[in-house]
Structure 1
Amino acid sequence: MAASRYWIVSLPVQTSHSSLWSRLQESISKQSFDTPLYRFNVPDLRVGTLDSLLSLSDDLLKSNTFVEGVSHKIRRQVEELERASGVETGALTVDGVPVDSYLTRFVWDDAKYPTMSPLREIVDSIHVQVAKIEDDLKVRVAEYNNVRSQLNAINRKQSGSLAVRDLSGLVKPEDIITSEHLVTLLAVVPKYSQKEWLSRYETLTQYVVPRSSKKLHEDNEYALYTVTLFAKVADNFKTSAREKGFQIRDFEYSPEAQESRNKELEKLVQDQETMRSSLLQWCYASYGEVFSSWMHFCAVRVFAESILRYGLPPSFLAAVLAPSPKSEKKVRSILEGLCGTLNSTYWKSDDDVGMAGLGGDADSHPYVSFTINIT
């Protein structure tokens, strides 16, 4: 089972990369054998000036939080859409590769992010691209939710109590009498008051047709009755009925309106399914783009922080680990032991520990470290 929480770390190289990598592998296999370990391939990026690196470091954590947040938004949207359809398609991917595999086998895309570009340019490019995807997500989700809200409103009318639901599906043409003088009203009667209704409706006003009330439907709270009377006393009847606790629902039977409502409902159902499927496919593709951008961003972070931590020329080993919670302390100890006593001119003092770790862990370490949560 793939891990959901990874560390990306870099260690200072004091002899050779291969020697340090062998020592790290050996230490992990002996002391924390259940911790997966992978190389994290950071290319030779353009260093620029120390001032530019320091300026960039101020924005890296904020930008990382943004990019990571967008990836999680898309993932949550995928999960919500899959729950709505009752279908789970499996793990998210980047160009067909599971995200955990993409992370642990990361390869820099030089065509998309030329390594000779200034680091600031690469970071800004990633931020702009992800911001555009986030804006697109907001628009698409708003459109989908609008259709879903319309459909939910109709369904509530169809499934609510008789006091609020749409009655057109419960009334047949033969239930309604409409003539020059007569009108049929629909009364919503509390279930416990049905006997009272049947004994009193004829006397609520004059000119009520005797024995004209018929029950059409019943739910957990109410019963729906018809009553026929002269149109000229309809308002009086409604007032008297309301005083007795009976609700007269406004209703006009129209086969054309009912057919129109049915067509609207069918169209909304189709629109919702079409938009759900389209949004889901877009989320799959966009998640891959955002996750790929995020990993390139992480590579820039590793590179920039390693320079600030260990100095020039760049000489560090980057790795990805996935320790279990019970192994974290042991793995931290292993990593610290491999750092030796090498310190950088730019390494922060204890008084400035808040700046150490550009988006890494709350506590500082004598090596570069930050955590990646992919779920």
Structure 2
Amino acid sequence: MASRYWVVSLPVQNSASSLWNRLQDQISKHSLDTPLYKFNNPNLRVGTLDSLLSLSDNLLKSNNFVEGVFHKVRRQIEELERVSGVESSSLMVDGVPVDSYLTRFVWDEAKYPTMSPLKEIVDNIHGQVAKIEDDLKVRLVKYNNVRSQLNAINRKQSGSLAVRDLSNLVKSEDIVVSEHLVTLLAVVPKYSQKDWLSSYETLTSYVVPRSSKKLFEDNEYALYSVTLFRRVADNFRTSAREKGFQIRDFEYSSEAQESQKQELEKLVQDQEHLRSSLLQWCHTSYGEVFSFWMHCCAVRVFAESILRYGLPPSFLACVLAPVTKSEKKVRSILEGMCNSSNSTFWKTEDEVGEGMAGLAGDADAYPYVSFTINLV
């Protein structure tokens, strides 16, 4: 699949079929490795010249908006698949690959009657895509909220012992709690463990001898328990802090541990459900937005061709996928399909009217209608 396509229209002098054959012959003759397809542009309602001119700015803005939402949805699909660790799937539009939909585009008469005013069609497309963008924002907020909660829990469980949650590191048999005794948890720098073991019994009176046990160790700290009389706990905290040992506030509760475990499991399930639902929605919306985009492009081709070539509508619309090294030659061939006076006009910067110059949509002006479709 090519990642970039040109949608162009050429003025028809004699017959569209003759022009199409000439273009095919030129592309084939120079072996440009450039796939070429007819773009099935419908015969839309022209309206007045003033209405077409006023529509041109809105067309470009709407096209850019729809294209932006299309790429936003595409990037979200890629991100969700990356996070899920699943292999990237083919992106489809109405059951066919996205490039096939583009190269075999068919106007949806049921959604957009060709006799409708062009502005009405463009406004309809813009409104539908705006709803999809709003829906995406709402779904992302829900998904990201759950992700944030999970990340916060994971940070608590994976940080250093100085800050992490200790509930999953401490068992009921590690804690002594009675009317007179209490077990404290000390976070000791790894390089100070010998100092702790030799001094904890003397940090205050009434410390139970040989009661300290190492419960866990990370890259920076070791977690020790120590049992002492409840009435000297505050004195012990103060003396420990003076020697560089941190006493963590902790109250063992099997009910709280079970509750946290269930909360974590629920958040994991919620995240997977929201991710799966969002991914499925994005795949559906991807196809919808691309279809909207191609209908917007069809209106652009029609409106810009009328403004460029005049009435009655007589132009050949086509889609090309040139490789980079062939682009210059393909442009030359396309320009050769236009009459010389038309080419001269569009090459002369001073003669390009302000209203007409903005119609091309691309950075360069050509003697034919041309704009680019980037799929990635």
TM above 0.5: yes
CA distance 1:90–1:204, change in 2 (3 Å) = same
2: CA distance, partners of 1:140 / 1:102: 27
Query: Is the CA contact (8 Å cut-off) linking 2:360 and 2:369 kept in structure 1?
Result: no
Alpha-carbon separation, structure 2, partners of 1:374 and 1:32: 24
Corresponding position of 2:361? 360
Residues 1:78 and 2:89 aligned together: no
Separation in structure 2 between the aligned mates of residue 335 and residue 347 of structure 1, nearest angstrom: 13
**Residue of structure 2 in register with 1:43 after alignment:** 42
1:265 aligns with 2:264: yes
**Residue 296 of structure 1 aligns with which residue?**
295
Indicate the RMSD between aligned Cα atoms, in angstroms: 1.6
Q: CA, structure 1 residues 359+188, in 2 after alignment: closer, same or farther (shift >3 Å)?
A: farther
Q: For the Cα contact (< 8 Å) 1:46–1:119, is it kept in 2? A: yes
Provide the residue aligned with 2:175 in structure 1: 176
| Contact 1:310/1:347 (8 A) holds in 2 | no
Would you say the 8 A contact 1:12–1:342 is kept in 2? no
d(CA) in 2 for partners of 1:73, 1:353: 34
**What is the SS of the residue equivalent to 1:184?**
strand
Asked if 2 retains the 8 angstrom alpha-carbon contact of 1:61 and 1:359, the reply is no
- Aligned partner of residue 170 in structure 1, secondary structure: coil
> Could you list the per-position Cα deviations for residues 337-363 of structure 1 after superposition, in whole angstroms to 9, with x for gaps in the alignment?
11123549x979623476525353211
**Secondary structure of 2:168 counterpart:** helix
Alignment deviations for residues 58-93 of structure 1 (CA, whole Å, 9 cap, x no partner): 112211111001011111111111111111252110
SS of the residue corresponding to residue 106 of structure 1 reads coil
Q: Distance in 1 between matches of 2:365 and 2:92?
A: 32
CA-CA distance at 1:30 after TM superposition: 1.1
Match of 2:189 in 1: 190
Amino acid at match of 1:105: R
* Aligned residue in 1 for 2:238: 239
Distance 1:263 1:85 in 2: 22
Percent identity between the aligned chains? 82
Scaled by the length of structure 2, what TM-score is found?
Answer: 0.96
Deviates more, 1:83-92 or 1:253-262: 83-92
Query: Distance in 2 between the 1:79 and 1:89 partners?
Result: 7
What is the distance in 2 between the residues matched to 1:22 and 1:368?
A: 19
- C-alpha distance in 2 between matches for 1:243 and 1:358: 75
Residue matched to 1:230: 229
1:374 and 2:361 aligned? no
Give the conservation status (yes or no) of the 8 Å contact 2:9–2:305: yes
Matched-pair contact (CA < 8 Å) for 2:162–2:187:
yes
Superposed CA offset, 1:232-274 (max 9, x none)? 2212221222222211111110000000001001111111111
Contact kept in structure 1, 2:6 and 2:371, CA below 8 Å? yes
Secondary structure, counterpart of 1:185 in structure 2: strand
Provide the C-alpha distance between the structure 2 equivalents of 1:281 and 1:21, rounded to a whole number of angstroms. Answer: 40
- CA distance in structure 1 between the aligned counterparts of 2:215 and 2:325, rounded to whole angstroms: 65
SS in 2 for 1:169: coil
Deviates more, 1:244-253 or 1:291-300: 244-253
Which whole-Å CA distance do the structure 1 matches of 2:346 and 2:121 have between them?
25
8 Å CA contact 1:305, 1:357 repeated in 2: no
**How many pairs were matched up?**
373
Q: Does 1:11 align with 2:10?
A: yes
Distance 2:30 2:239 in 1: 85
Which residue number in structure 2 is paired with residue 136 of structure 1? 135
**1-structure distance, mates of 2:243, 2:275:** 47
- Aligned residue for 1:225, secondary structure, equals strand
TM-score, L = length of structure 1: 0.96
Helix, strand or coil for the counterpart of 1:107? coil
* Residue in structure 2 matched with residue 108 of structure 1 by the alignment: 107
Q: Which moved more, 1:124-133 or 1:159-168?
A: 159-168
Tell whether the 8 Å contact from 1:357 to 1:369 is kept in structure 2 after alignment: no
Tell whether 2:222 aligns with 1:216: no
Corresponding residue number in structure 2 for 1:328? 327
In structure 1, how many angstroms separate the alpha carbons of the residues matched to 2:360 and 2:10?
17
Residue 276, structure 1, aligned to residue 267, structure 2: no
Post-superposition CA distance 1:191-246 (Å, at most 9, x none): 11111111121222222222111000111111000011121221222122222221
Please name the residue that 2:162 is paired with. Answer: 163
Q: CA offsets per residue over residues 105-159 of structure 1, 9 Å max, x none?
A: 0000000111000000000000000000000000001101111111111111122
CA deviations on 1:28-82 (whole Å, 9 max, x unpaired) are 1112430010000110000011111110101122111110010111111111111
* CA–CA distance in structure 2, aligned partners of residues 169 and 137 of structure 1: 37
Distance 1:245 1:340 in 2: 87
Matched, 1:308 2:320: no
1:121 aligned residue: 120
Q: What residue in structure 2 maps to residue 202 of structure 1? A: 201
- Do 1:348 and 1:356's aligned partners in 2 also have CA atoms closer than 8 Å? no
